[in-house]
Amino acid sequence: DAGVIQSPRHEVTEMGQEVTLRCKPISGHNSLFWYRQTMMRGLELLIYFNNNVPIDDSGMPEDRFSAKMPNASFSTLKIQPSEPRDSAVYFCASSPGGASREKLFFGSGTQLSVL
Amino acid sequence: KQEVTQIPAALSVPEGENLVLNCSFTDSAIYNLQWFRQDPGKGLTSLLLIQSSQREQTSGRLNASLDKSSGRSTLYIAASQPGDSATYLCAVMDSSYKLIFGSGTRLLVRP
């Protein structure tokens, strides 16, 4: 299996632009998670889906952030409009079963820089 | 609110040493605890998962223990190697099914 695939690996954009991050979870995994990692705040859970349905989005910082999972093999995280403080590494992770039991498998992340 | 703390923040040891990384959490109502490894510029790799009903898990040279009542976990690495150099992150899954991460321990194993 190729693992969790994220794209792009790096994204540089200007403040105010729309940014879309993409994730393909491991085939057969039922849960998908979006995390953000910064030096100041460490790893923060933004949102997670179970069977394509958003279960908890309380970590989404504000209305500029939105996430979708239209099918079991694809998810997007969109920031519109982007701001410099959104600069971080964004990770997608998936797990094969219920969130309480299984290991998480992380993608390589998207390094986002908003100028 | 669940908080996860890792001590030390950084550690440098000579090759061959046995070492212990520490993790503490404030709320004992957890579903599981996981240890991850992160290499620079890379994602996280799951090393060990301990269910709340378990006391320890072992994988090769790694052994993780869990004392839920005291809110502590340790990751023991035996016979450390330069390839073990990375950041090690502890995370607990809380009662709302969120995985809460510590800030990590940066380990350097010197040849």
pLDDT the model gives residue B85: 97
A47: confidence class by pLDDT, cuts 50, 70, 90: very high
pLDDT the model gives residue A99: 56
Among the partner residues B32, B36, B104, nearest to A100 by beta-carbon distance? B32
pLDDT the model gives residue B42: 86
Which one-letter amino acid corresponds to residue B25? F
Residue B22 has pLDDT above 90, yes or no: yes
Among the partner residues A45, A103, A107, nearest to B34 by beta-carbon distance? A103
In this structure, what is the dihedral angle of CA atoms B103, B75, B34, A103, given to the nearest 10 degrees? 130
Is the CB of A41 inside 8 Å of chain B's CB atoms?
A: no
Among the partner residues B51, B98, B104, nearest to A56 by beta-carbon distance? B98
Residue A100 has pLDDT above 60, yes or no: no
Residue B61 has pLDDT above 90, yes or no: yes
pLDDT the model gives residue A98: 63
Distance from CA of A89 to the nearest CA of B (A): 9
- Interface size A-B, in CB pairs within 8 Å, comes to 50
Angstrom CA distances, B3 to A47, A52, B24, B25, B101, stand at: 19, 29, 8, 6, 8
Chain B contacts of A107, Cβ < 8 Å?
A: 43
Cα–Cα distance for residue pair B36/B46, rounded to 1 Å = 4
A1: confidence class by pLDDT, cuts 50, 70, 90: low
Residue A20 has pLDDT above 90, yes or no: yes
Cα–Cα distance for residue pair A44/A42, rounded to 1 Å = 6
Task: Write out the two tokens for A74.
Answer: 């694809």
Residue B39 has pLDDT above 80, yes or no: yes
Chain B contacts of A102, Cβ < 8 Å?
A: 49
Residue B53 has pLDDT above 60, yes or no: yes
CA angle, residues B88, B47, B5, in degrees to nearest 5: 35
Instruction: Report whether the peptide linkage leading into residue A8 is cis, meaning its omega lies within 30 degrees of zero.
Output: yes
Cα–Cα distance for residue pair B109/B11, rounded to 1 Å = 8
Chain B contacts of A99, Cβ < 8 Å?
A: 93, 97
Angstrom CA distances, A39 to A17, A26, A88, B79, B101, stand at: 23, 28, 8, 30, 13
